[in-house]
């Protein structure tokens, strides 16, 4: 598994035969296994865990697009999650198909992203970050007082058909696949290159013809849409949600934590982080309800101080140690294998 992840994440062009096939085949096999999985009649708990993990991983990939690729830290993704949840809920109540509801949730979240992005992205400095801290708070108090959504007592979705865990599972799987595809396409596109340039040096990027303002707005909207869709999918399964849950600051922290754990700036790092967080989080919260913030905060500090590239960085380090023993000097730089031609030098944090 570890080796597979390593190989896929790298070589953005001119890949050798083996790694090319791994890059295309492995995600395909993984997807096929996940699609076939419900046929083995897993327990409802397992299916629920996979569902939650897929939803979290979608948000993790979305955060990574903005935070990892473009270098804009946001603490406010809970807003988009909540917007997606409420949009889906309200539209389903109005008789829309849930799938149209998810889509609309994504659109509403993308529109919402401009409220944060337009005033802050034009300016250099920490304006965006601080605005994202404030916006969660602001939206939550508004939602707490809004009558049509039931205010702070929450909103309930009523569906007049039988609860089908498989359908929920497949929608979440579709969302995470969409997120992976979008992330991979952006990573290989001119747009992705522009975003990485902005992360490294905004002025230099602007000199080379990138418009930082529009690029940041665009990627923020894409990320917000993905989170909105994830929020809608979550809301439909949960069937009940309230502002203190979907709009919680805590939700924003969780979304940010996943790509950081897995490895900021890489598609498979975000996936890895999402999967680990999805599987571990509920157990962790249940077993250590009093110290989970301590664990998250401590983990965040340790990662930043000792291994800013997260678990993928750790794996790369291990791989380098192993490789050093058997390969001749002058072999392909392991950084390049993982991060593409820019190498690790291009990953200023």
Beta carbon nearer to another protein, 92 or 221: 221
Beta carbon nearer to another protein, 35 or 253: 253
Beta carbon nearer to another protein, 165 or 244: 244
Question: Which residues make beta-bridge pairs with 156?
Answer: 240
CB of 285 to another protein, least distance (A): 13
Hunting for tokens 């570890």 — which residue is that?
2
Nearest to 346 by CA among 191, 210, 196, 184: 196
Beta carbon nearer to another protein, 53 or 72: 72
Beta carbon nearer to another protein, 140 or 237: 140
CB of 153 to another protein, least distance (A): 15
**Which residues contact another protein by CB under 8 A?**
67, 71, 73, 75, 115, 118-120, 122-127, 129-131, 133-135, 137-142, 144-145, 249, 253, 256, 260, 264, 290-294, 296-301, 303-305, 308, 349
| Cβ within 8 Å of residue 182, ≥6 positions away | 61, 65, 222, 226
What angle is formed at CA 127 by the lines to CA 123 and CA 132, rounded to 5 degrees?
A: 130
CB of 297 to another protein, least distance (A): 3
Beta carbon nearer to another protein, 185 or 291: 291
CB of 294 to another protein, least distance (A): 4
CB of 273 to another protein, least distance (A): 13
CB of 112 to another protein, least distance (A): 13
What angle is formed at CA 238 by the lines to CA 229 and CA 173, rounded to 5 degrees?
A: 45
**Interatomic CA distance for residues 323 and 266, integer angstroms:** 22
Residue 71 zone, left/alpha/beta (φ > 0; ψ -120 to 50; rest): left
């Amino acid at each position: 598994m570890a080796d597979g992840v390593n190989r896929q994440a790298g070589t953005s062009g001119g890949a050798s035969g083996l790694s090319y096939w791994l890059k295309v085949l492995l995600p395909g096999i993984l997807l096929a296994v996940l699609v076939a999985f419900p046929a083995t009649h897993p327990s409802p708990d397992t299916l629920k865990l996979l569902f939650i993990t897929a939803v979290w991983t979608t948000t993790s990939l979305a955060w990574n697009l903005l935070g990892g690729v473009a270098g804009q830290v946001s603490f406010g993704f809970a807003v988009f999650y909540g917007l997606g949840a409420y949009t889906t809920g309200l539209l389903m109540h109005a008789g829309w198909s849930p799938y149209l509801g998810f889509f609309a949730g994504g659109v509403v979240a993308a529109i919402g992203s401009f409220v944060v992005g337009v005033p802050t992205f034009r300016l250099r400095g920490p304006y965006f970050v601080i605005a994202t801290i404030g916006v969660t708070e602001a939206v939550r108090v508004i939602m707490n007082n809004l009558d049509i959504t039931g205010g702070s007592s929450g909103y309930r979705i009523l569906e007049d058909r039988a609860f089908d865990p498989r359908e929920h599972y497949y929608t979440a799987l579709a969302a995470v696949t969409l997120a992976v595809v979008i992330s991979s396409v952006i990573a290989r596109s001119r747009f992705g290159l522009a975003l990485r340039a902005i992360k490294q040096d905004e002025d230099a990027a602007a000199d080379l013809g990138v418009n930082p303002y529009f690029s940041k707005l665009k990627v923020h909207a894409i990320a917000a849409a993905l989170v909105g869709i994830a929020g809608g999918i979550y809301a439909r399964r949960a069937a009940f949600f309230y502002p203190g849950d979907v709009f919680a600051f805590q939700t924003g922290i969780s979304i940010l934590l996943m790509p950081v754990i897995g490895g900021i700036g890489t598609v498979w790092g975000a996936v890895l982080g999402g999967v680990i967080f999805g599987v571990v989080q509920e157990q962790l919260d249940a077993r250590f309800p009093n110290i989970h913030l301590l664990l998250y905060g401590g983990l965040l500090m340790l990662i930043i101080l000792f291994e800013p590239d997260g678990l993928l960085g750790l794996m790369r380090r291990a791989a380098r140690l192993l490789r050093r023993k058997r390969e001749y000097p002058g072999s392909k730089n392991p950084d390049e294998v993982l991060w593409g031609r820019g190498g690790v030098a291009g990953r200023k944090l």
